Structure 1
Amino acid sequence: MLREITIHNLAVIESVSVPFHSGFHVLTGETGAGKSIVIDALTLTAGGRGSADMIRHGCDRADIEAVFDLSRQHPVWETLRRLGIEADADETLLIRRELLAQGKSSARINGQSVTLTMLREVGEHLVNIHGQHEHQSLLRTDKHLEWLDLFAADDIREEKAAYRKLFQQYQAVSKERRELEDRSRQGMQMLDLYRFQLEEIAAGKLKAGEEESLTDERRKLSHAEKLTEAVSEAYDLLYGTKGLSALSRALTRLQDIVKVDPVTLQPLVEQLQSAYYGVEDSAYQLRDYKEGIEFNPQRLAQIEQRLDLLHSLKRKYGETVEDILNYQTRIKTETDQLDNRDELLKELATQEESLLGELQTSADKLTSIRRTASRELARQIEQELAHLQMERSVFEVKLGVSVLSATGADSAEFVLSTNPGEPPKPLGKIASGGEMSRVMLALKAIFAQIDEIPVLVFDEVDTGVSGRAAQAIAEKLSLLSRHCQVFAITHLPQVACMADHQYEIYKQVTAQDRTQTSVTELTEDQRVEELARMLGGVEVTEKTRHHAQEMLSLAEQRKNA
């Protein structure tokens, strides 16, 4: 459930912190008092889009915090884990949204920064907001199949997953066949060129890393004379009178007198001994290196010729030898496919036909499950509509046939008849605003126990209804609150009196001539006054107060019943 929401500098709200409870909540107040701002704030914490226009005038930012208290089994914890957000299911969930005057916004979940997409994915598990214009989504027939599958989730889940896997395989094979056909038409003109290129590259007998090795060898061969001269001179210097001989004489002289001052001279003797052995080792290495220097003009010419061939191939087929080898592999594959295109096309066509048969069988199973589910959904909606003073309405889920798609071979459309003797027709052609609100409420009543969303919000869904229908909506909202936390913005006293908790939204002008909206949870006495205002308008009389008290008493009896 939503435990608390705190709002700073959003529209005309300067600062409010509102605690909530379980059950049915209503938000009431004069038109324009700012009731929808509270809903807007909740929408923002669920990932709704915000703008700088929503920030209170004169402020540089708006902040909203929502605290949710959820069971350990709620699916949102798995979503948080998958998104990499640290959260303890034994603690509350804190969502913070910030809007900046520069137009940017930020979001945090339990103090961790998240993107708007991540917040929206989490919010879908927490809050479902039904506005007074949301019934337009009922007119979108592309959503009807989605709702039907959600209703049939337990029965259809496995078969739908199997179908989706087959559909992906079918699409992949079909795409491969089409691409091969396209490549075959275009590639036949390239086949001779590909064969020539393969022969040319194969004749080169390329090896990865060969160019670097040849370049290094060429450098040594082309500078063999300079290397020999330099290394010989260095060897002579080290091994001659100025090198090892000089070090040997110096070491002998010091060893003769080391006993005179061993503390000072012994370390020097050891250093000279180390230097002598090091120079001697370097001299031997230079001697060996000099003996290995090769004077081979013929080998140098071969290397130059080989590098010229590599450079020629690089100009045609790639910037490096590795690129040329990759190109060779690619055109070899394409050439093989072109050479065997008829056999490959036949094989792919056979796979495609086989998968299409399996796909159709799976789609038929989906259709069968949906037919059963559509009848049950229609029965339950008619039952809910009867409770909402639409007793003689006929609701159907009309299944049609469509081309195979990611969802199967079915289309679905909700149709309704509100008058006996009239055939069911699409919702947009027969339902009034009040009827549409009740159809949506009937759907919400059914799906509230399926989708596990803990918070349902209804923004003036009672618009266009009155009398017994309004009372029926109020009772349905109260029943819904037994499965989840329900919020409703309403102007109807019939709805307000059925609430477990009532909040008044009101505006006031401060001493600084600034308008600000406040939210107050009403006591029982205050509820009587607010209901009397809703009943009587500007003038509240003892009769309207008495009527309000009676409505609250009757509402309590209905809830208990």
Structure 2
Amino acid sequence: MLAEISIKNFAIIESLSISFEKGLTVLSGETGAGKSIIIDAIHLLVGGRGSSEFVRYGEKRAEIEGLFLLDDDQHPCFERAAEFGIDITDGMIVLRRDISISGKSVCRVNGKLVTIAILREIGRTLIDIHGQHEHQDLLFQEQHLTLLDQYGGEAISNGLREYQTIFKSYNELTKKIKKLSESEQEMAHRLDLIQFQLREIEQAGLQPNEDHELMEEKRKISNYEKIFRTLKNSYDALHGEQKGLDWVGLAMSHTEGISDLDDQLKTIHETVSNSYYLLEEISYKIRDELDNLDFSPERLDFIEGRLNEITGLKRKYGQDVNEILQYSAKIQDEVETIENRDGLLDQLNKELQSLTDDLLVEAKNITVLRKQFAKVLIDNIHQELKDLYMEKTTFDIVFSNTLDVNHGGNFKNHGVDIIEFFLSTNPGEPLKPLSKVASGGELSRIMLAMKSIFSVHQGITSIIFDEVDTGVSGRVAQAIAEKMYRVSVGSQVICITHLPQVAAMADTHLYISKEIKNDRTKTSINPLSSNGKVKEIGRMIAGAEITDLTTEHAKELLELAQKNKLVMLSK
């Protein structure tokens, strides 16, 4: 849900911080007080189109920041944020957007700088705004299949998982066949190239880790004199009369005579003895190393030549000898694949045909499931429309597919189905795509009916209705109020309204007003108490003059709304 929004220097708003609660929140106030401006700010916060005109006169930039709380760890926002490398901790996500006087925007999500496109992608998982904005997913045909699949729940998602497992193998195999099916000339050129490379590497006769071993040997030969001198001096210091081993041996003999007198003396003797034998052993190793030392200019020349040859191969095929050998094995497999291309293509095409048959079975199964749920969905939407006194409106889901009639291919990750929502608002009128239905009161009610169903399946945190009740009254107004409340049970709903019936159903009622200070307009917002709700609903009913009768009517409307809410919650 949208927990809080902070707005600074935006249009006529100097500074405003609004906290929102769960359920149905109504925003009301006099015309021009700034109700729609708040919705405009929310719209910009989730990636809507910005403009320098939004910056308050005399200021350098407008600032909008919103805090959203995610109760469900399976919320689609988590997956979308992860795609863009954005961390969400404790189910909290903060969106921020600054618009400068030049019209440029700076966007952040949880403190990370993002593009407007990324802000929009994340924002559309959090808020669905219906009003005079383009931010209406239900109008986008590409979203209709996703909505139907969400409505179908586990049944369709299980079928999709089976299909997508096979589709992944199908895709990989198709790419492999495409690569093998390139023109004969390109294949011949490729074969010549990798055969030349393979011969060059094989002729070098490389051994694993050879370059590292040669470098070590080169260092040793290059430092022959230093190594010889150091080892000789070390050996001479240990061996010979009056040298190191003699003195340590003398100490060992002296301590042996007293070692049986005390445990501490015994330990001293053992330590001296161990040191003597260790030094004796290392002196033998130094002697052996001296005997094996050999300075060979010819060997050094060979090593340098070999390393130059390996360096030439590294420039072409890898960072070290092991990488070159890995590349050699890879192109060896490619040579065999190209040389046996025709036989391999026949085998792969047979495998592809088998996968295609399996894929068609799974795709058709998904189509059957989707059509079953589409029928149920159509009936449910007709019922929702009937509740809004639009029983003459016809809704349908039109199916087509991506299949190639001749080859049976052209599979997509979501299957082969293409669907679109169609409507006819008047008897005798043809069905038209939802996106082509004229805007106005009817479209508002249609969208409300559809959101009553889809809000549960979309996982949208907040739904905002911006004066969707314009131009309705009486029983239709009451139906809209009840429908909005039902939607708010599963999703937070924020609504700007002029209808007392809708205001009466609110869990939270925020009153927006404006005043002029120092020749500047300032907007403020306040939650209404019980008495404040009565007064505001009375104003919505009667206008400027509120009589005792109007007040009684407002109280009655609130009491009836409370009873209706209890009845709806009990169902």
Same fold (TM over 0.5): yes
Contact 1:244 1:280 survives alignment (8 Å) = no
State the structure with more CA Rg.
1
CA distance in 2, matches of 1:246, 1:377: 101
Aligned equivalent of 1:174:
174
Checking the alignment, whether the CA contact within 8 Å between 2:198 and 2:328 is kept in structure 1 is yes
- Distance in 2, matches of 1:160 and 1:472, equals 37
Structure 1 window deviating more from structure 2 (190-199 vs 432-441): it is 190-199
AA of the residue aligned to 1:358: D
Query: Map of 1:541-560 to 2, 5 A cutoff?
Result: 548=554, 551-552=557-558, 555=561
Distance 1:245 1:537, change over 3 A: closer
Provide the C-alpha distance between the structure 2 equivalents of 1:288 and 1:36, rounded to a whole number of angstroms.
92
What residue number does 1:267 align with?
none
Structure 1 residues 433 and 289: CA distance shift in structure 2, 3 A:
same
Contact 1:18–1:519 under 8 Å retained in 2: no
C-alpha displacement of 1:505: 0.8
Structure 1 range deviating more: 465-474 or 165-174: 465-474
1:229-278 deviations in Å (ceiling 9; x for gaps): 77657766876899669989x99xxx9xxxxxxxxxxxxxxxx9999999
User: Partners of 1:217 and 1:531 in 2: how far apart?
Assistant: 93
What is the aligned-residue identity percentage?
38
C-alpha separation between the residues in 2 aligned to 1:97 and 1:392? 42
The whole-number CA distance in structure 1 between the counterparts of 2:279 and 2:561 is: 106
1:443 corresponds to which of 425, 446, 450: 450
Distance 1:238 1:101, change over 3 A: farther
Q: Structure 1 residues 35, 116: CA separation in 2 closer, same or farther (over 3 Å shift)?
A: farther
| CA offsets 1:452-498 (integer angstroms, 9 cap, x no match) | 55643322222354454333322322333444443211123343344
**1:492 matched to which residue of 2?**
499
- Alpha carbons of structure 1 residues 50 and 97: separation in structure 2 relative to 1, 3 Å: farther
Which runs of no fewer than 5 residues in structure 1 stay unpaired? 88-92, 256-271
| Counterpart selection for 1:463 from 467, 470, 484 | 470
Is residue 5 of structure 1 aligned with residue 11 of structure 2?
Answer: no
**1:366 — aligned with what?**
366
Aligned partner of 1:261 in structure 2 is none
Q: Which residue of 2 aligns with 1:333?
A: 333
Q: CA deviation at 1:175?
A: 0.8
Report if aligned partners of 1:42, 1:66 keep a CA contact under 8 Å in 2. Answer: no
User: Are residues 1:162 and 2:165 paired?
Assistant: no
1:148 paired residue number: 148
Residue in 1 aligned with 2:34?
Answer: 34
Q: 1:499 to 1:61 in 2, by over 3 A?
A: closer
Partner of 2:413: 406
8 Å CA contact 1:244–1:276 kept in 2: the answer is no
- Look up the equivalent residue of 2:358 and give its one-letter code: E
Aligned mates of 2:537, 2:239 — CA distance in 1: 113
Corresponding position of 2:397: 397
The 5 A counterparts of 1:116-265 are 127-133=127-133, 137-182=137-182, 185-218=185-218, 220=220
In structure 1, the partner of 2:434 is 427
- After superposition, the Cα gap between the structure-2 partners of 1:415 and 1:298, relative to the gap in structure 1 and judged at 3 Å, is closer
CA contact (8 A) 2:61 2:98 kept: no
Q: CA offset at residue 139 of structure 1?
A: 3.9
For 1:473 and 1:120, locate their aligned partners in 2 and report how far apart those are by CA, in whole Å: 29
Q: What amino acid maps onto 1:187 in structure 2?
A: M
Matched residues in 2 for 1:480 and 1:50: separation?
Answer: 27
Which residue in the other structure is 2:539 paired with? 533
For 1:29-108, list aligned pairs within 5 A. Answer: 29-36=29-36, 38-39=38-39, 57=59, 64-65=66-67, 70=71, 75-76=74-75, 79=78, 85-87=88-90, 96-97=94-95, 104=106, 108=110
Match of 1:396, SS?
strand
- Alpha-carbon RMSD: 4.7
1:33 and 1:184, CA in 2 relative to 1: closer, same or farther beyond 3 A?
A: farther
State the partner residue of 2:267.
none
- Assess, with a 3 A threshold, how the Cα gap between structure 1 residues 326 and 6 changes in structure 2: closer, same or farther: closer
Q: Distance in 1 between matches of 2:302 and 2:287?
A: 28
C-alpha change, 1:67 and 1:198, in structure 2 (3 Å) is: closer
For the structure 1 residues 558 and 13, does the alpha-carbon distance in structure 2 shift closer, same or farther, using more than 3 Å as the test?
farther
1:268 corresponds to: none
Q: Secondary structure at the match of 2:181?
A: helix
Structure-1 separation of matches of 2:204 and 2:69: 70
Give the 3 Å change call, closer, same or farther, for CA 185–465 of structure 1 in structure 2.
Answer: farther
Partner deviation per Cα, 1:343-385 (whole Å, 9 max, x = no partner): 2111211121111111111111111112222221111111111
Q: Residues 449 and 6 (structure 1 numbering): CA distance in 2 closer, same or farther, change over 3 Å?
A: closer
- Residues 144-176 of structure 1: per-residue CA shift (max 9 Å, x gap): 222222221233111111112222221111011
Which position in structure 2 is the counterpart of 1:263? none
In the alignment, which residue of structure 2 is the partner of 1:354? 354
TM-aligned CA distance change 1:239 to 1:15, over 3 Å: same
- Partners of 2:144 and 2:420 within 8 A in 1: yes
Structure 2 contact 245–276 (Cα < 8 Å) conserved: no
Cα distance, 1:228 vs. partner?
A: 5.4
When residues 137 and 190 of structure 1 are mapped into structure 2, their CA distance, relative to the original with a 3 A threshold, is closer
Deviation of 1:341 after TM superposition, in Å, equals 0.8
**1:522 correspondence with 2:528:** yes
Q: Please say if residues 245 and 279 of structure 2, whose CA atoms lie closer than 8 Å, have aligned partners that are also in contact.
A: no
Q: Separation in 2 of the partners of 1:6 and 1:429? A: 34
What TM-score, normalized to structure 2?
0.75
CA–CA distance in structure 2, aligned partners of residues 133 and 233 of structure 1? 89
Distance 1:237 1:547 in 2: 114
1:477 aligns with 2:476: no
Select the residue among 507, 515, 529 that pairs with 1:508.
515
* Aligned counterparts of 2:139 and 2:124: Cα–Cα separation in 1: 21
Label 1:77 to 1:276 Cα distance change in 2 as closer, same or farther (>3 A): same
Q: Distance in 1 between matches of 2:427 and 2:62?
A: 58
- Measure the CA separation in 2 of the matches of 1:94 and 1:301: 67
Amino acid corresponding to residue 529 of structure 1 in structure 2: K
AA at the equivalent of 1:521: P
Q: Distance in 2 between matches of 1:351 and 1:394?
A: 46
CA 1:349–1:214: 2 relative to 1, 3 Å? same
Distance 2:156 2:339 in 1: 45
Looking at structure 1, the residues matched to 60 and 301 of structure 2 have their Cα atoms a distance apart, in angstroms, of 82
Structure 2 distance, partners of 1:235, 1:478, is: 95
TM-score, reference length from structure 1: 0.76
Deviation per CA, 1:398-443, whole angstroms, max 9, x where unpaired? 1123233222222112222222233322234454421111111111
Distance 2:320 2:22 in 1: 70
In structure 2, do the counterparts of structure 1 residues 138 and 431 end up closer, same or farther at CA, with 3 Å as the change threshold? farther
Between stretches 471-480 and 121-130, larger displacement belongs to: 121-130
Residues 475-530 of structure 1 deviation map (CA, whole Å, 9 limit, x = unaligned) = 322333444443211123343344344221111234x5554322222234433432
